[in-house]
Structure 1
Amino acid sequence: MRIGVVGVGGGGSALADALVADDAARADGYLAAAVALDTDAGALASLDGVAEDHRHLLGAVHVDGEGTAGDADLAAEIAREERPELRAAVDAVPVGSVDATLVCAALGGGTGAAVAPAVADLLDQLTGSPVYAVGVLPGTEEAGGDGGAVGVGDPARVKGGAGDGRGDEGAEADALDGPDRPLDSNAAGAVRALAAACDDLVLADLDVWRAAGAPYAAAWPRLDADVAARLGALFAAGEASDPVPERVLDASELGNTLGAGGVSVLGAAGTAVDNGRREGVVGGLLDRIAGADDPEVDEGEAVSAAANAARKAVTHRLSLACDPTSASRAAVVFHAPPAWLSRRGLERARGIVEDETGVPQIRWGDLPDPRADEFRVTVLLAGVTDCDRLDDLGDAIDPTRLG
């Protein structure tokens, strides 16, 4: 699936940056263009992958490049007043040559919560292709916050004073004297607005990536890289050409999966495998000169690797804790060295996903990669309706009424 990406706010822009990096690392790219929109000039300047001319500062008159400090009402005002600027910014996405557009946002901050739905609505009017969103829910113990504009390891993003979402003791202490920034309230409103504006909303919960008792700052880069890798596997599966997959999960199948309504959740897990490549710099050079032999793989080991990864992906490695059996549709991508993609192993892995979700006729594709060092399974669960985290967000959100 060929996509365009628009990152909104600090967290959304950082995730768009991670998608650029993921795309660059793959043999078959899926990313047509990436755009970043933010009210924080420092956060925009700290990006690595999004081209400078595709970074757009919003609300300079209102906030002078300092961000909205979690004020969703102010961000909504900026979005209304600067709609022509929003349209000019998203013009960088070649809507006529992409299969879909993805809007990324951290939903606890003001800019992500309020501007991302406006961007999604605008894209829906400009293109006939689907518009999807991926939203990051704030941590349940996060203090204040700009929804991820900070805490991603770059000092330029760790600014803004009280309650900036760092999740460490200093930020929490500062938040006591800072403005009231209702992260859950912002997120609850953004979930409803994005679900209404998009063809599908994929959610990730920051708490999934936070180690027990650790600062939230360390969780943000892990989430960015992991969510980008999961999305990248799904998008890249339809673009793979060498080696040729046994079965391609193309844009139409992925789009049909994402058209379930409600919210979607990503799962992924891997089992280490031998790819037959030599180790070290010299070994890699020899592989490139003389070629690398495919490893001899025992059928039983291939089946076991596929089954173990599939079970973990759908039960223990979800981007948002939910009941897998409440999903109405599912898609799976198997990424591994070609020798490990045995037909019996793939059948066993698909059977596990079917058993754990109750979804018949799982859509699937394989992504053979001679360089891979694990058998990795990526799962998309769409139309999820049973999720305690959504119920706990502000006024209880009923996932069955989203979309």
Structure 2
Amino acid sequence: MRFFVIGFGQAGGKILDMFIENEKMRGSNIRMRWLAVNSARADLLGLKHVPMQDRILIGQTIVKGHGVGTDNKLGAKITQDEIETILNAIDERGTHDLDAFLIIAGLGGGTGSGGAPVLAKHISEMYSEPVYAFGILPAPEEGKLYSLNAARSMISLMKYVDNLILFDNGAWKFEGMSLRESFAKINDEIVRRIALLARAGEPLEGESVGELVVDSSEVINTLKGGGISSIGYATSLAETEQKRGFSFFKRKREEQLETIESDKAIKIASLVKRAALGRL
């Protein structure tokens, strides 16, 4: 699935950076474009895999590159003031072969929380492709202000995106670790889910068939109509098919095949159930 990904704010930029690293390590044929947008210069400079030309610093005249802290109203104002800079950067990179836009942002902070809805509004007005937001919810331990920012950002985002995909930091605090210590593992889980969307219908390097049987049109149809979604994830080891002896009895052979297909269906249903009932 060909996304134009915008990592907005500190969390969004980190996730985008990790996603690019992950896809390069897998040898994927990355058919997407991206931008990292932030009001904090240090956060942009700390990225390792987003090319320098794909990083945009906003709000220099107001916050001097130091970020907006948790003031998401200021984040929204800065984004609105410099929206043409971001939109021009998107246009320069081309949008003719995209399937959708994906804005990634932490909803509890300032820049991404305030700026993502503003950007979503303008993109949805300019382009016909779907606009999705991947929002990261703060854990309760992060404080009431983060929760308030997230609530405001969600309400605004839902007005302008085709679907809001949420990931709950609070549900992913690992046993025996502080929230901060858990962040690296949490980010891995987020990247895994975004990668699943990105691989829909896209071939691996040197291949002509999509890596996933679900293609981009099916993802778009599933997320169509607005609302809030979450991506479950579960894995199961695939059994290698053992050699079977030739059967002289056709009916016996057909019964074996029916049993195999029935087992596959049960395993798939079980896997889907585990994904839906797991941490989201």
Tell me whether the two structures share a fold, i.e. TM-score over 0.5: yes
Equivalent in the alignment of 1:270: 235
Pick from 257, 282, 291 the counterpart of residue 222 of structure 2: 257
Q: 1:13 to 1:297 in 2, by over 3 A?
A: farther
Whether contact under 8 Å (1:206, 1:219) holds in the other structure is no
Is residue 310 of structure 1 aligned with residue 258 of structure 2? no
Match of 1:199 among 135, 153, 162: 162
Structure 2 CA distance for aligned equivalents of residues 244 and 78 of structure 1: 43
Q: Distance in 2 between matches of 1:243 and 1:90?
A: 28
TM-score by length of 2: 0.83
Task: State the secondary structure of the residue aligned to 2:213.
Answer: coil
Residue by residue over 1:213-266, the C-alpha shift from the partner in whole angstroms, topping out at 9 and shown as x without a partner, is 632222322222222222222331311374846983222211110013210110
Match of 1:99 in 2: 99
Amino acid at match of 2:227: G
Displacement, 1:117?
Answer: 0.9
Shift of 1:83: 2.0
Structure ranking higher in helix proportion: 2
Question: Which residue number in structure 2 is paired with residue 238 of structure 1?
Answer: 201
For the 8 Å contact 1:68–1:75, the answer to whether it is kept is yes
Query: In 2, are the aligned partners of 1:23 and 1:31 still within 8 Å (CA)?
Result: no
- Residue in structure 2 matched with residue 57 of structure 1 by the alignment: 57
Distance in 1, matches of 2:215 and 2:32, equals: 16
- Counterpart-to-counterpart distance in 2, 1:77 and 1:246: 41
Aligned residues: 261
- Matched-pair contact (CA < 8 Å) for 1:41–1:65: yes
- Identity percentage of aligned residues: 31
What pairs with 1:386-397 in structure 2 (closer than 5 Å)? none
RMSD between superposed Cα atoms in Å:
2.5
Secondary structure in 1 matching 2:230: strand
2:39–2:111 Cα contact (<8 Å) kept: yes
Is contact 1:113–1:186 with CA below 8 Å preserved after alignment? yes
Identify the residue that residue 184 of structure 1 maps to in structure 2.
147
Q: Whose strand proportion is higher, 1 or 2?
A: 1
Cα gap change, 1:61 to 1:133, in 2 (>3 Å): same
Partner SS state of residue 80, structure 2: helix
Task: Report the Cα distance in structure 2 between the residues aligned to 1:2 and 1:244, rounded to whole angstroms.
Answer: 15
Query: Paired residue for 1:279?
Result: none
Q: Secondary structure at the match of 2:121?
A: helix
Go from structure 1 to structure 2 and tell me whether the alpha carbon gap of 1:246 and 1:219 turns closer, same or farther (over 3 Å shift). closer
Q: Are residues 214 and 72 of structure 1, via their aligned partners in 2, closer, same or farther at CA, if it must alter by over 3 Å?
A: same
Q: C-alpha offsets along residues 358-402 of structure 1, whole Å, 9 cap, x if unaligned?
A: xxxxxxxxxxxxxxxxxxxxxxxxxxxxxxxxxxxxxxxxxxxxx
Distance 2:69 2:154 in 1: 19
Would you say the 8 A contact 1:96–1:127 is kept in 2?
Answer: no
Cα 1:100/1:246, change in 2 over 3 Å: closer
| Change in 2 beyond 3 A, CA 1:215/1:297 | farther
Per the alignment, in what secondary structure is the counterpart of residue 101 of structure 1?
A: strand
Residue 200 of structure 1 and its aligned partner are, at CA, apart by 0.8
Q: Which residue of 2 aligns with 1:225?
A: 188
Q: Which runs of 5+ in 2 are unaligned?
A: 244-259
Which residue pairs with 1:328 in the alignment?
none
Structure 2 distance, partners of 1:14, 1:246, is: 25
SS of match in other structure, 2:235: strand
Distance in structure 1 (CA, Å) of the matches to 2:71 and 2:84:
22
Displacement of 1:95 in angstroms is 1.6
In 2, the alpha carbon distance for the partners of 1:4 and 1:15 equals 14
Instruction: Give the partner amino acid of 1:205.
Output: D
Q: 1:245 to 1:305 in 2, by over 3 A?
A: farther
